[in-house]
Amino acid sequence: AQSVTQLDSQVPVFEEAPVELRCNYSSSVSVYLFWYVQYPNQGLQLLLKYLSGSTLVKGINGFEAEFNKSQTSFHLRKPSVHISDTAEYFCAVSDFQGAQKLVFGQGTRLTINP
Amino acid sequence: DSGVTQTPKHLITATGQRVTLRCSPRSGDLSVYWYQQSLDQGLQFLIQYYNGEERAKGNILERFSAQQFPDLHSELNLSSLELGDSALYFCASSPQSLGHYNEQFFGPGTRLTVL
């Protein structure tokens, strides 16, 4: 079984400041790793994914994440945030094979203050 | 727009009732997933169908059931509703090519309120 822990339920930051949203996972098998974003009253949108290869992955809207196998982490970063980044962010994992169902963390609410 | 449609957008009903949520996947996608997002449980996987057959089951209650029809749309049936079933229900679709990563595309969700 897999599990995902997002270490911060809420992260407030000022506009143009850097941000890091932390995610740790647990799995007995190799997994794919994802970050999704949910804007208010909207569905889930894929920000970025790690499948294999380079441990630093770049996504949409200037976000990037680094896979650290030894620490079983997949932290999301952005060097300079904008008001429009205000949203809920979900870290998720899925199996390589089979159903590839997504197992989500509890989410981190990112609030950008002017 | 992900190409996945869900109807209705909002549903308000009473305890004990039964409702049906509908999902139309992206054109060509054979696999449909259902997820529930609630304040208590967060986002959790309920069930997956592939080309009409149930493929995987998650934390789905016995009062809930789903099916996928020959035209590949899917319905999630929720019966004997309780207050705790109030949640946002998402459908996602993917092409589900074996041996490859398959991105899931999420619909906008159906918000169910049980009064």
Touching check for B5 and chain A: CB below 8 Å? no
* Separation of alpha carbons A57 and A98, rounded Å: 24
Of B42, B45, B103, the CB nearest to A107: B42
Find chain A residues with C-beta within 8 A of B44's C-beta. Answer: 104
A91 to chain B: closest CA residue: B43
CB within 8 Å: B45 and A100: no
Q: What is the DSSP letter of B85?
A: G
Of A49, A51, A104, the CB nearest to B42: A104
pLDDT digits (tens, 9 = 90+) for B42-63: 999 999 999 999 999 998 999 9
Closest CA to B112 of B2, B22, B45: B22
Cβ contacts below 8 Å, chain A against chain B, sum to 47
Give mean pLDDT, residues B7-35: 96
* Separation of alpha carbons A66 and A55, rounded Å: 5
pLDDT at residue A53, rounded to an integer: 87
CB within 8 Å: A100 and B101: yes
Site from B31, B35, B104 to mutate, A interface, most A CB atoms within 10 angstroms: B104
pLDDT at residue A17, rounded to an integer: 97
A61 in Cβ contact with A85 (< 8 Å): yes
Which residues have CB under 8 Å from A92's CB, separation 6+?
A: A4, A33, A34, A35, A36, A102, A103, A104, A105
pLDDT digits (tens, 9 = 90+) for B70-101: 999 999 999 999 999 999 999 999 987 666 77
Instruction: Give the bridge partners for A78, in sequence order.
Output: A19
Of B48, B90, B101, the CB nearest to A44: B90
Touching check for B108 and chain A: CB below 8 Å? yes
Query: CATH classification of A3-90+100-113, choosing from 2.60.40.10, 1.10.1060.10, 3.40.50.720, 3.40.50.300?
Result: 2.60.40.10
Find chain A residues with C-beta within 8 A of B42's C-beta. Answer: 104-107
Segments making up each domain of chain A, as ranges: 3-90+100-113
pLDDT at residue B1, rounded to an integer: 82
Question: How far A8 CA lies from chain B's nearest CA (Å)?
Answer: 14
pLDDT digits (tens, 9 = 90+) for B3-19: 999 999 999 999 999 99
For tokens 């992955």, what's the residue?
Answer: A57
A31 to chain B: closest CA residue: B101
pLDDT at residue B48, rounded to an integer: 95
